[in-house]
Amino acid sequence: MGILSWIIFGLIAGILAKWIMPGNDGGGFIVTVILGVIGAVVGGYISTFFGFGRVDGFNFGSFIVAVIGSLVVLFIYRKIRS
């Protein structure tokens, strides 16, 4: 996937992660995109490491992995920030 695809995919995953774990994080749109892209990468790495699959395109499995990764990154971000 190209960089623009990763940004769009990360944005969607980041928005869903913030919707699932609401809170006052600050940072706005840019932080959501950054956390979403990092979450997609982290989720892809973790799922590949454990043999569950990987983030390899715009499909449902990759989307679930990216959202789970974004939730993990959002959780860590909140713990570090507080």
Average pLDDT, the chain: 78
What pLDDT score was predicted for residue 35? 82
What pLDDT score was predicted for residue 71? 87
Number of domains composing the chain: 1
Instruction: Tell me the pLDDT tens digit for each residue of 41-75.
Output: 888 788 878 877 656 667 787 788 888 888 888 88
The model's confidence at residue 20, banded by pLDDT at 50, 70 and 90, is: confident
Burial tier of 43 (Cβ tally within 10 Å: 0-12, 13-18, 19+): buried
Q: What is the domain extent for residue 37?
A: 3-81
Counting every residue written for the chain, the total comes to 82
> Is it the case that residue 1 has pLDDT exceeding 60?
no
Full-model pTM: 0.78
